[in-house]
């Protein structure tokens, strides 16, 4: 939630800031603003409500020249989405200007204290507290700290202020009297630095840096960076000055632009054959008929003694976890529990020493998932992350992990990250299975099926045209049911979530047989039921459930496997997907459901990539 950017160098700051904010817009899109320091050292702020394009127009009609600046795109937490609450915010008598991503929990107490000291608040945000607090720390410095770094006293004031704050922050700060420096800091909210030639960049994630530099630093919690055009100094609250590790940023501009597609969601749906290949690349061993992972950081003894697995996540990632439970229990016979991270973090379940905890998160920043993994770590469990965003908070927090390598996912509704999470979980099922019960032969068969999966997903993408027609037929419905069993129960949940998220139609995902215990009361001629009914051991059972809906006059949309003829006799609309092994059916059957929600949302005039009230990365509880 919220995205921040910063630039310091000799180029045009507003150009980088605007483009960077466009790339971060998925993090929040209710208002935006920039602060730019002009060549005479004067800081000017421009803010608008609404999307980044409004800010771009404001800057186009009244440009702010300068080669140092910070910017922000907001998802409101404290205070409505007004221009006054948009960032950047001033601290003190405009002594400093800052952008913030995160939440300050003790802001009310700090605000009262600062007000009693004479600070006047212009907004309803928690952020303004940080700005005034840093200003008050600067004001109090009688003999500013001086060392080789002429800006050390600024960093010292920031450090002192942050010590009084309880909450999370990613910060970018410019100073009225020191126009050649930006200070960045993070705790619990993501922040990266880009290292260029005579220029430095700040951003909430790597995407704004793409095309500007391929050198990236993932700032860690409690680090403060002091940036000038040609210098960079990082200190840690407890360790003093640290040497940041500069890593290679592997992405090109096509990863963060639409590349000819009308929406990021559509682009990402069509990227799935490739993202699945990337998730399995280098992770399948034909010789041992198993999967391989480089970063679990567990000894063979520890791996052998795992007797329970907890998968914790939120939203779509939770649906992937549910499929993971089915797969790991089936292949490896290890008991698995799937926990909503928001529940797990405040529960106190008995957890044995042989329990392994996986946090699954596309962004790696979801506050509840981060909270849950911290809680599990505190209790002494080995924690692992399955994340897409490299260097993200959850990836940093966990003891080890597996990256999805799906590339940036920008559409708020998750698509390619979901299938990549499911893929990584099937690799884990194979891995643990081969350590326990699965034969070499069974391992080989699973590997062969996995190798064939990307081409099957590519074929499933060909259903686009028929799905579009089905979307036109049902786009005015106000309720949908999504029904599937076993491996396709998570598919039903995910299909329903996709529709809700982007088209604002109420949809419920249910295990098909459970429908009789409630949702069947919703069935009428206006409520379409989407059945996921590929061949397999529950096929006949699902057929009976279809009959039950049919008998009550409910329209039926069915996702079937090639060669099926029975379902068409009952269903109103049928979409055929390629035949795959049963454990891979969720990968092909989710494709038409993603496309269905996309086309329905388009027909209803919804903003597919930026649905109302949602944000891609939920960094608040
Ligand atoms: C938000 C997003 C969802 C996502 C969920 C979990 O609600 O809108 O698309 O599934 O957060 O996000 P994560 O990054 O942890 O997978």
Q: How far is the CA of 589 from the centre of ligand 1 (A)?
A: 21
The string of pLDDT tens digits covering residues 246-283 is 999 988 888 888 999 999 999 999 999 999 999 999 99
Q: Determine which helix (DSSP H) or strand (DSSP E) holds 215, and give its type and residue range.
A: strand 215-218
Q: Phi-psi category of 504—alpha, beta or left, where left has phi over 0 and alpha has psi -120 to 50?
A: left
| pLDDT score recorded for residue 141 | 87
* Average pLDDT along the chain: 94
Q: Give the count of beta carbons closer than 10 Å to the beta carbon of residue 216.
A: 24
| pLDDT score recorded for residue 271 | 97
| pLDDT score recorded for residue 144 | 58
| pLDDT score recorded for residue 77 | 82
Q: Which atom of ligand 1 is nearest to the CA of 615?
A: 8
Q: How far apart are CA 403 and CA 240, in angstroms?
A: 30
Q: How far apart are CA 323 and CA 486, in angstroms?
A: 9
Those residues whose C-beta lies under 8 Å from the C-beta of residue 336, and which sit 6 or more positions away, are: 308, 309, 310, 311, 324, 325, 328, 329
pLDDT confidence of 378, banded at 50, 70, 90? very high
| pLDDT score recorded for residue 348 | 85
Ligand 1 pocket mutation pick from 363, 390, 425, 504 by most atoms within 8 angstroms of CB = 363
Q: How far apart are CA 585 and CA 419, in angstroms?
A: 11
Q: How far apart are CA 545 and CA 485, in angstroms?
A: 10
Peptide bond into 414 cis (omega under 30): no
Ligand 1 environment, Cβ below 6 A: 314-317, 361-363, 366, 369, 412-414, 614, 616-618
Q: Which atom of ligand 1 is nearest to the CA of 341?
A: 15
Q: How far is the CA of 341 from the centre of ligand 1 (A)?
A: 12
Question: Could you give the angle at which helices 416-435 and 440-460 cross, rounded to 10 degrees?
Answer: 170
Q: How far apart are CA 584 and CA 329, in angstroms?
A: 15
Ligand 1 pocket mutation pick from 29, 269, 373, 414 by most atoms within 8 angstroms of CB = 414
Q: What is the mean pLDDT of residues 452-470?
A: 97
| pLDDT score recorded for residue 621 | 75
Q: How far is the CA of 313 from the centre of ligand 1 (A)?
A: 9
Q: How far is the CA of 616 from the centre of ligand 1 (A)?
A: 6
Residue with CA at minimum distance from ligand 1 atom 8 = 616
Q: How far is the CA of 315 from the centre of ligand 1 (A)?
A: 5
The string of pLDDT tens digits covering residues 164-214 is 999 999 999 999 999 999 999 999 889 999 999 999 999 999 999 999 999
Q: What is the mean pLDDT of residues 97-112?
A: 95
| pLDDT score recorded for residue 135 | 97
Q: Which atom of ligand 1 is nearest to the CA of 417?
A: 16
State yes or no: pLDDT of 589 exceeds 80. Answer: yes
Ligand 1 pocket mutation pick from 422, 617, 619 by most atoms within 8 angstroms of CB = 617
Ligand 1 pocket mutation pick from 265, 345, 362 by most atoms within 8 angstroms of CB = 362
Residue carrying structure tokens 């507290």: 129
* Whole-number Cα distances in Å, 262 to 21, 208, 211, 310, 514: 19, 20, 21, 38, 38
Q: How far is the CA of 248 from the centre of ligand 1 (A)?
A: 26
Backbone angles phi, psi at 356, to 5 degrees: -110, 135
Catalytic-residue membership of 550: no
State yes or no: pLDDT of 577 exceeds 70. Answer: yes
The string of pLDDT tens digits covering residues 390-439 is 988 999 999 999 999 999 999 999 999 999 999 999 999 999 999 998 99
Q: How far apart are CA 37 and CA 10, in angstroms?
A: 12
| pLDDT score recorded for residue 569 | 95
Q: How far is the CA of 264 from the centre of ligand 1 (A)?
A: 16
Q: Are 470 and 557 in contact (CB under 8 A)?
A: yes
The string of pLDDT tens digits covering residues 45-89 is 999 999 999 999 999 999 999 999 999 999 888 888 899 999 999
46: which strand partners?
Answer: 34
User: CB-based burial of residue 79 (10 Å sphere; 0-12 exposed, 13-18 middle, 19+ buried)?
Assistant: middle
pLDDT confidence of 613, banded at 50, 70, 90? confident
- Paired tokens of 609: 């990539």
CA neighbours closer than 13 Å in the CB half-sphere of residue 445: 12
pLDDT confidence of 363, banded at 50, 70, 90? very high
Model confidence, pTM: 0.90
Alpha-carbon Rg for the chain in angstroms: 26
7: which strand partners?
Answer: 69, 201
Residue with CA at minimum distance from ligand 1 atom 15 = 361
Q: Are 362 and 316 in contact (CB under 8 A)?
A: yes
Catalytic-residue membership of 616: yes
């Amino acid at each position: 939630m919220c995205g921040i950017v910063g630039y310091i160098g000799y180029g045009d700051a507003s150009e980088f800031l605007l483009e960077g904010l466009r790339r971060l817009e998925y993090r929040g899109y209710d208002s935006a603003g920039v602060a730019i320091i002009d060549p005479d050292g004067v800081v000017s702020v421009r803010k608008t409500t609404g999307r980044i394009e409004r800010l771009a127009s404001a800057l186009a009609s009244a440009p702010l020249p300068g080669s140092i600046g910070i910017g922000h795109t907001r998802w409101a937490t404290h205070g409505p989405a007004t221009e006054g609450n948009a960032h950047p915010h001033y601290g003190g008598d405009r002594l400093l200007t800052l952008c913030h991503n995160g939440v300050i929990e003790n802001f009310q107490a700090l605000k009262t204290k600062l007000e009693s000291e004479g600070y006047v608040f212009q907004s309803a945000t928690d952020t303004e507290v940080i700005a005034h607090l840093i200003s008050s720390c600067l004001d109090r410095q009688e003999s500013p700290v001086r060392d080789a770094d002429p800006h050390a006293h600024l960093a010292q004031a920031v450090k002192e202020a942050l010590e009084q704050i309880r909450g999370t922050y990613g910060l970018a700060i410019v100073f009225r009297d020191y126009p050649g420096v930006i200070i960045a800091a993070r705790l619990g909210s993501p922040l990266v630095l880009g290292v260029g030639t005579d220029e430095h960049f700040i951003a909430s994630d790597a995407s704004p840096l793409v095309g500007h530099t391929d050198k990236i630093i993932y700032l860690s919690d409690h680090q403060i960076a002091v940036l000038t055009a040609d210098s960079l100094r990082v200190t840690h609250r407890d360790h003093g000055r640290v040497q940041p590790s500069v890593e290679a940023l592997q992405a090109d501009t096509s990863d963060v632009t639409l590349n000819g597609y009308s929406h990021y969601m559509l682009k990402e749906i069509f990227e799935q054959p490739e993202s699945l290949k990337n998730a399995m690349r280098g992770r399948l061993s034909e010789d041992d008929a198993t999967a391989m992972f480089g970063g679990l950081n567990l000894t063979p003894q520890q791996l052998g003694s795992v007797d329970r697995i907890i998968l914790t996540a939120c939203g779509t990632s939770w649906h992937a976890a549910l499929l993971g439970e089915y797969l790991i229990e089936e292949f490896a016979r290890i008991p698995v529990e799937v926990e909503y991270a928001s529940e797990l973090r405040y529960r106190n379940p008995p957890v044995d020493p042989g329990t392994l905890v996986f946090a699954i998160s596309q962004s790696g920043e979801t506050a509840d998932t981060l909270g849950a993994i911290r809680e599990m770590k505190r209790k002494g469990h080995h924690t692992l992350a399955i994340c897409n965003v490299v260097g993200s908070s959850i990836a940093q927090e966990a003891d080890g992990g597996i990256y999805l390598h799906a590339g940036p996912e920008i559409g708020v509704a998750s698509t390619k990250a979901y299938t990549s999470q499911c893929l990584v979980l099937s690799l884990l099922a194979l891995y643990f299975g081969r350590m326990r019960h699965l034969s070499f032969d069974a391992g080989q068969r699973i590997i062969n099926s996995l190798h064939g999966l990307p081409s099957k997903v590519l074929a499933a993408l060909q259903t686009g045209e028929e799905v579009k027609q089905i979307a036109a037929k049902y786009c005015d419905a106000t309720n949908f049911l999504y029904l599937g069993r076993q491996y396709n129960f998570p598919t039903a949940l995910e299909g329903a979530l996709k529709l809700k998220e982007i088209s604002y139609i109420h949809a419920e995902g249910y295990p098909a047989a459970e429908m009789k215990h409630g949702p069947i009361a919703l069935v009428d001629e206006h409520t379409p039921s989407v059945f996921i009914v590929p061949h397999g051991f529950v096929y006949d059972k699902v057929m009976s459930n279809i009959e039950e809906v049919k008998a009550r006059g409910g329209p039926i949309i069915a996702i079937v496997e090639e060669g099926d003829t029975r379902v068409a006799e009952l269903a109103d609309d049928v979409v055929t997907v390629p035949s795959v092994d049963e454990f891979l059916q969720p990968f092909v059957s989710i494709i038409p459901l993603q496309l269905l929600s996309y086309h329905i949302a388009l027909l209803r005039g919804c903003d597919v990539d930026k649905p109302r009230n949602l944000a891609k990365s939920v960094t608040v509880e």
